[in-house]
Amino acid sequence: MQWASLLLLAGLCSLSRAQYDEDPHWWFHYLRSQQSTYYDPYDPYPYEPYEPYPYGVEEGPAYAYGSPPPPEPRDCPQECDCPPNFPTAMYCDNRNLKYLPFVPSRMKYVYFQNNQISSIQEGVFDNATGLLWIALHGNQITSDKVGRKIFSKLRHLERLYLDHNNLTRMPGPLPRSLRELHLDHNQISRVPNNALEGLENLTALYLQHNEIQEVGSAMRGLRSLILLDLSYNHLRKVPDGLPSALEQLYLEHNNVYSVPDSYFRGSPKLLYVRLSHNSLTNNGLATNTFNSSSLLELDLSYNQLQKIPPVNTNLENLYLQGNRINEFSISSFCTVVDVMNFSKLQVLRLDGNEIKRSAMPVDAPLCLRLASLIEI
């Protein structure tokens, strides 16, 4: 009986070996057949082939625990791209879109810039209330086609880009969470006093290249504002009151003709002020207008000044070119001139005025001993 069993087993082995001798790659085919039928219970898409997304990792921040699974098609509009390595971002820029597509709820960063979008329909962001950034610059959006409560529901929004559009009014209401607001290169004509109400976290406001004629006291409540750009507008007056945290103020290319006395004292952190290409005269400036100890750079070029306005000894850069200045008064820089009292001015530009180098007083080198450039 044992011999019969051994003979039967030997016959089977001979048959199997003959089969494998005919196919020398039988083991490779066997492994492939095993892989094709292997099932991983932790694979979220066990029956769907995964194709890597064309974007590299530089498209967004690294995912904390490795690359997440690619989103399902229904989670990303067909007009846009949603990189799997940056699952909270949606790229819909430069696609000739004329409308805003559906925004999935997981999104925090959406990019719609450089399209042909003309309206922001009511409720378009209701499904994605966790948005942090919205980029809508470079479109054709008009104020009358922006929903009234579009942005107020986005309680986590930090940056809003609406520059390079056709807006004629300030959008609003806006969420208190906002930190940066870009409204430059539009057609806005005024900033109502309540237009920025409640934006206590706003740090940067860009309103340059508009048609603004009046600002009023709209800036007073912006207690966190660091940068304010109102250049290239039609302002005749400076804003009524500046935020206390302000560090940079840009008002060049307007029609401002006067600045009140002690105007900058309410902003003790102010470092840079640009008022070039305005209509300033000495009659419109009080004695202590620019005597602010925090100022490092002051640009008053291309105005109608005939005298050098008094500045603080801490000022480092003063630009006065292109005025009508005809005298060099050392008291504008140093009230007392001696070994211990001097100006920290490093750059002084007086070219394009009516003054000559010979008009410099003899004690100017002592007062301006730190100056590396004096252009006359």
User: What DSSP element (H or E) covers 375?
Assistant: strand 373-375
| Token pair for 79 | 């007009």
Beta bridge partners of 133: 109, 159
Asked whether 301 and 330 are in contact (CB, 8 A), the reply is no
Mean pLDDT of 46-72: 40
**Digit-coded pLDDT (tens) for 340-359:** 889 999 999 999 999 988 88
Question: Do 166 and 187 contact (CB within 8 A), yes or no?
Answer: yes
Q: How far is CA 89 from the centre of its chain?
A: 17
Mean pLDDT, to the nearest integer, of 137-165? 96
Beta bridge partners of 317: 297, 347
- Please name the residues in contact with 139: beta carbons below 8 A apart, sequence gap of 6 or more: 112, 113, 114, 115, 116, 117, 118, 164, 165
> 18: burial class by Cβ within 10 Å (0-12, 13-18, 19+)?
exposed
374 in helix, strand or coil?
strand
Show the tokens assigned to 51. Answer: 């194709």
**What's the DSSP call for residue 266?**
G
**Mean pLDDT of all residues in 3-28:** 44
- Token duo for residue 151: 């942005």
Does the structure show a pLDDT above 70 at 364? Answer: yes
The predicted structure's pLDDT at residue 49: 34
pLDDT tens per residue, range 225-258: 999 999 999 999 999 889 999 999 999 999 999 9
pLDDT of amino acid 358: 85
Segment 301-310, tens digit of pLDDT? 999 999 999 9
From residue 66, how far is each of 41, 78, 86, 181, 229 by CA, in Å? 19, 26, 11, 33, 41
Provide the 3-class DSSP secondary structure of residue 349: strand
Rounded Cα distance, 332 and 109, in Å: 51
pLDDT, one tens digit per residue, over 189-207 is 999 999 999 999 999 999 9
Around Cβ 130, how many Cβ atoms within 10 Å? Answer: 14
Question: What's the pTM value of the predicted model, to 2 decimals?
Answer: 0.79
